[in-house]
Chains A and B, each alone.
Chain A
Amino acid sequence: SAVISQKPSRDICQRGTSLTIQCQVDSQVTMMFWYRQQPGQSLTLIATANQGSEATYESGFVIDKFPISRPNLTFSTLTVSNMSPEDSSIYLCSARTANYGYTFGSGTRLTVV
């Protein structure tokens, strides 16, 4: 099955700073997805990232807070900007590949202090 490498796996950050999360897929994919999962909750889609175009954000999420890059068909980054304790969550990237359905990275556990 497709493999997504996500890093960092966890981080503790000071409020007001930014963190960039990276995801690398071992095969080319058209779209990558970024999710947030708050403790004990389901997954909420932040945005969809297509290569060569701006990301599409879901309601409640804005580019200034969660800028996304998608420089090629195997890589994407999500930045959590100007962090506050409310941003403490698990952030997950995902991609759908032709044969293996949707695959997720292992997640980034972010704590903002």
Chain B
Amino acid sequence: QQQVKQSPQSLIVQKGGIPIINCAYENTAFDYFPWYQQFPGKGPALLIAIRPDVSEKKEGRFTISFNKSAKQFSLHIMDSQPGDSATYFCAAGEGYQKVTFGIGTKLQVIP
């Protein structure tokens, strides 16, 4: 059973566009929702994270929107750049337990 559903699996946007990646979860015990960015040949790197008591969090060009009642959260990348081309994973964690990952979204930003 997939506990964190992520969509789309791939996304192509032009430079300056705002790609949006969506995730939904089922386990209401999750209390930590990170997003990871992974470049080819590298391990995932924490990009931004949010807790369920906050509806939005911004860090630079990256914004997480969180809807607790709908059990959904999304990542928006403002003014996307070719250097943002990577695979993005949403995830959810409970306390200090393991993190459950979404399937990943391969983003390509074309000049």
A interface residues (Cβ-Cβ under 8 A, vs B): 1, 6, 30-31, 33, 41-43, 45, 48, 90, 92, 94, 96, 100-107, 109
Complex Cα spacing A42 to B93, Å: 16
The tally of CB-CB contacts under 8 A between chains A and B is 50
Digitize B15-44: 1 where CB-to-A-CB distance is under 8 Å, 0 elsewhere.
000000000000000001010100001111
Complex Cα spacing A100 to B34, Å: 11
B89 at the interface (CB under 8 A from A): yes
B interface residues (Cβ-Cβ under 8 A, vs A): 32, 34, 36, 41-46, 49, 89, 91, 93, 96-99, 101-104
Contact in complex: B49, A101 (CB < 8 Å)? yes
Q: Among the listed B34, B42, B43, B101, which residue makes an inter-chain contact with A101, where contact means beta carbons less than 8 Å apart?
A: B34
Complex Cα spacing A40 to B86, Å: 12
Residues of A within 8 A of B104 (CB): 41-42
Q: With A30-B96, A101-B34 as given contacts, are A42 and B101 in contact (CB-CB < 8 Å)? A: yes
